[in-house]
Structure 1
Amino acid sequence: MTFSFERFSATRRLILQGAGSVALAGLGNLIALPALAAANDKYPEDAFKQKGDKDAIQALYGRSAEASDKVKLDAPEIAENGAVVPISVTTTLENVTSISFLVSGNPNALAASYQIPEGTLPVVANRLKMQQTSNVIAIVEAGGKLYSATKEVKVTVGGCGG
């Protein structure tokens, strides 16, 4: 049996649009689940407003972090363009619940903060803006404690409008 479009009033375009609509409707459920989970997390607005890194860490976590060799911060020695400084952090710590990045020399120190779901590999990469040469700090919350790694990044051209 052969299929012929001539016997139907539907065009190929109409059929493709219908198939696309069905596919998008199916994806809607997948997209909504992470959005609902994220909506339940409280945005740390006060922490993002802090000028200094110690104040931002205190506002975000309520305590200070200890340096650890189990937190590996990968950032360039020299960033030629402060508007896009690639960084990443990995850790061998167990029970990681959050990872945050701070840039000491920026107008607001806290650059990014991520909640890490249970069972997720604790690896985060980002591109940060840096106004000037300063320390980049990675904070890892694991097992109810805070651990950190720090690296100075030299910026040749600032990325925060400077």
Structure 2
Amino acid sequence: MHEDPLRIYAGLVGRRQFLRAGMTALLAISLPRWAVARPSLEEAIRTFTGGANVLDGRVRLDLPPLVENGNAVGIAVVAESPMTEDDHVRRIAVFNEKNPEANVAVFHLGPRSGRAMVSTRIRLATSQVVVAVAEMSDGSFWSSRASAIVTLAACIEDLS
């Protein structure tokens, strides 16, 4: 006859410890999204680059300096690259300073992409800095920063 694994575990660690562990697990999975620590802009970039040095240049981030409505902000990122087999852009990532999520998007490219250019619309919670980082085929990382003043914010949550 097989015993219930939970009953065996409860008998090994004690009932109170078992209940405490269960309550802790339940609390952890039920926390609202905002309660989990948001990485800083620099931490998010460091995670993307694996800690590698990020250089300024070779990337242009087009972001309007004044945004009337943060719900749909058009951005474009262009990286200087011939997009050949030997010299191309692997990935372009977009990060923000104050939205609930630091990572906005990651675009995967290759030599067959033709041009190292991406464009999309993003949401901006408030006036902030947006950063684009391009990973080149040689393993180097290049970036560009732009600031936007947002008059009507999107992503309204606790941004502290």
Band the TM-score falls in, shorter-chain normalisation: 0.5 to 0.7
Give the distance between the partners of 2:38 and 2:90, measured in 1 at CA: 22
The runs of 5 or more residues in structure 1 that have no matched partner are: 1-48
Per the alignment, residue 139 of structure 1 pairs with: 133
Give the distance between the partners of 2:93 and 2:38, measured in 1 at CA: 14
Cα distance change of structure 1 residues 50 and 59 upon mapping to structure 2, 3 Å threshold: farther
Pairwise mapping of residues 1-162 of structure 1 onto structure 2 (< 5 A)? 50-63=38-51, 64-68=53-57, 70-93=58-81, 94-120=87-113, 121-142=115-136, 143-161=138-156
Task: Say whether the 8 Å CA contact 1:51–1:107 is kept in structure 2.
Answer: no
Q: How many residues align?
A: 113
> TM-score, normalized by length of structure 2?
0.66
Q: CA RMSD in A?
A: 1.5
Higher relative contact order (CA 8 A, sep 6+): 2
Report deviation, 1:51. 2.5
Report deviation, 1:103. 0.9
Report deviation, 1:124. 0.4
2:46 aligns to what SS in structure 1?
Answer: helix
Task: Say whether the 8 Å CA contact 1:52–1:108 is kept in structure 2.
Answer: no
The runs of 5 or more residues in structure 2 that have no matched partner are: 1-36, 82-86
Give the distance between the partners of 2:122 and 2:79, measured in 1 at CA: 20
Structure 1 counterpart of 2:55, which letter? E
Cα offsets for 1:60-90 (capped at 9, x unmatched): 221241111x211111011111111100011
Report deviation, 1:57. 1.4
Give the distance between the partners of 2:63 and 2:40, measured in 1 at CA: 20
Structure 2 counterpart of 1:154, which letter? I
Runs of 4+ in structure 1 over 2 Å off: none
